[in-house]
Amino acid sequence: MKSVFRLAFMAALVPMLAYGQSVQTIIIDPHPPGKPLEKTVAFFTSTTVPSVVVGMAAQDDGSGGGIYLYASSSETLSGPWTMTTIDRVGDFYERSAAFLFPGDTYPGIVASRSAQLVLYFNPMNWGGDPTQPWPSEIINPNAGCNDLHVAALDQDGLPDVVCSATLAAYGTKSFIAFQNDYNNWQIVDDPFRVPGSSDSIGDGIDVISISGGPRINVVGATNSGVYWFRNP
């Protein structure tokens, strides 16, 4: 009986060991230029090999920070990986996300920078050099995001940005940035307020389309409860 148990135990253990050994660690940057907080993976410079955008936190004296692109120069994930600068200044915190305009091939990046929401345009889409600083646009000059999602909330085919509050970092409320047209944004402040209180949804949020329809709903939570915000 003991031998049967021993065989069964080893049979169960082998797949676990094999699974653990199948993980390969690739070092992209052993010495990043700051504290890496915002990380986004997407096909920023190639349609076949992903690259990584990392936003760094600024120091208390304002030094450091910035947002950087890591791309593999060998067109494989093994690298070597090269770091170039998207924007060398600013306090980048919490979340960033890939942002693809209709008709573009390569996504840009939307990120929280120094209590603002900023969109960086990927120069690959007009034959530019992605290793040079990317042009940018401030979407919301008054608030960044603790968590953010890109989704077409108002069914116009243009991606919008849903943001939760930055209660701990900068003390700003949640908001939705509706894209009306290229370089034209409408900010709706504090749409995700907890009923009967002054709390605005912070930390993580998520979005979903239900019943096969295009309307995007938002789910968030505070210490007082979990809430579903239905798209009107």
Which tens digit of pLDDT belongs to each residue from 59-87?
Answer: 877 778 999 999 998 888 888 999 999 99
Report the first-to-last Cα separation within the chain, whole angstroms: 64
What was the pLDDT predicted at 9? 40
What was the pLDDT predicted at 84? 97
Which residues of the chain are under the pLDDT cut of 50?
Answer: 1-11, 13, 17, 207-208
Assign residue 185 a region (left: φ > 0; alpha: ψ between -120 and 50; beta: otherwise). Answer: beta
Backbone φ, ψ for residue 162 (5° rounding):
-105, 125
Which tens digit of pLDDT belongs to each residue from 33-67?
Answer: 889 989 999 999 999 999 999 999 988 777 789 99
The domain ranges of the chain are 28-141, 143-232
Identify the DSSP state of 61: T
Count of alpha carbons within 13 Å of 117, Cβ hemisphere only?
A: 33
Tokens of 60: 């208390």
